[in-house]
Amino acid sequence: MLDDIEAGPPDPMYTLKKWADGDTCDQKADLGAKVELSKQSLGHDYEVTTGNPEFLHHAARLILGQDCSRLASSHVASVQTISGTGANHLAVLLLAKCIVPQPKVFIGTPSWGNYKPMLDLVGLSTVEYPHYNEIDRTLDFPSILAAITSAPRNSVFIFQSCCNNPTGADPSQEQWHELAMALRAGDHIPLFDSAYQGLGRGLEEDSFAVRLFAKLGFSMITPGHWGHILEECGLFSFLKLSPRQCSVLIQEFHIYLPPNGRINISGLNKSNVERVARAIDYVVRLPDA
């Protein structure tokens, strides 16, 4: 995917900063910086265009693993961005500008609300497919596979590598293997959004999907029935609540959540969890709710 991308023009300030940062002389004077530094400055000022090299070095190893062979073979390009939204925007901008013809981008629904607007902004066509079973509140794995196998070759699929927002429903390791094989058969590109690594089952297990796809050589850009709660992972739980039930929770109980029923469980604590549970129990018993 990256083979045909042409390098941009050299930035003389980028080169100058790399030289200055690498100079260990205690008498050096960096006259290229656009900041005024005190004698006690720690150097937390302008970074080079792609970000802090040391941060990028460790970030790549955090998600791909210290022993990832693709790191040693220089098959990984890293860039520092402003927040998760900035990272996703830069990824889809790369897809829009550097892949010819432009690929279709597939988004599982329900999903994070920013994916489609940012894809529309860069001019990429999107296809939505259900990746969540609204009846039993679990991952709709057959639907994901069907979307992959029916997609045009060289399509892009956006996945959240762990702790899915808003559903909390992640594929199992076996399902990730099956998805990888289906994606490979169609020459598709996975774009992993890894916003919550470490907040589900730990730093290592939460990076399973990304590490699997890297090992396989992919080109990658990085409740009714309440039983699903025990199977969900991460900060979010997708409760089977109607917009009216959510509104009652807000208006009568001062419990705030979006109308789709997605809650951030980190908002629960020992002092409020029982009250919240009783309020939810109340609204699900309302007639015509």
Q: What is the tens place of the pLDDT at every residue in 177-231?
A: 999 999 999 889 899 888 888 888 888 888 888 888 888 887 766 534 455 555 5
pLDDT tens digits along 152-184: 999 999 998 888 888 888 999 999 999 999 999
267-285 average pLDDT score: 86
As a whole number of angstroms, the distance between CA 120 and CA 141 comes to 26
pLDDT at 37 over 60: no
Q: Select the more confidently predicted residue: 142 or 48.
A: 142
Which segments of the chain belong to CATH 3.90.1150.10? Answer: 239-284
Strands 236-238 and 138-139, by their bridges, are unpaired
As a whole number of angstroms, the distance between CA 25 and CA 107 comes to 51
Could you write out the three-class secondary structure of the chain? Answer: CCCCCCCCCCCHHHHHHHHHHHCCCCCCCCCCCCCCCCCCCCCCCCCCCCCCHHHHHHHHHHHHCCCCHHHHCCCCCCCCCCHHHHHHHHHHHHHHHHCCCCCCEEEEECCCCCHHHHHHHCCCCEEEEECEECCCCEECHHHHHHHHHHCCCCCEEEEECCCCCCCCCCCCHHHHHHHHHHHHHCCCEEEEECCCCCCCCCHHHHCHHHHHHHHCCCCCCCCCCCCHHHHCCCCEEECCCCHHHHHHHHHHHCCCCCCCCEEEHHHCCCCCHHHHHHHHHHHHCCCCC
Statement: 81-215 belongs to CATH 3.40.640.10: yes
As a whole number of angstroms, the distance between CA 163 and CA 195 comes to 8
CATH superfamily of 239-284: Aspartate Aminotransferase, domain 1 (3.90.1150.10)
Amino acid identity, position 83: S
Paired tokens of 284: 């699900």
Which segments of the chain belong to CATH 3.40.640.10? Answer: 81-215
Contact status, residue 234 vs residue 218, Cβ threshold 8 Å: no
Strands 138-139 and 132-133, by their bridges, are antiparallel
pLDDT tens digits along 26-35: 766 666 555 5
pTM recorded for the entire structure: 0.69
**CB-facing half-sphere around the CA of 204: CA atoms within 13 A:** 2
What is the phi/psi pair of residue 116, to 5°? -65, -45
Which residues fall within 8 angstroms of residue 98, CB to CB, at 6 or more apart? 1, 2, 4, 5
pLDDT at 131 over 90: yes
Paired tokens of 174: 């076996």
pLDDT tens digits along 1-21: 666 667 777 776 667 777 777
pLDDT at 266 over 70: yes
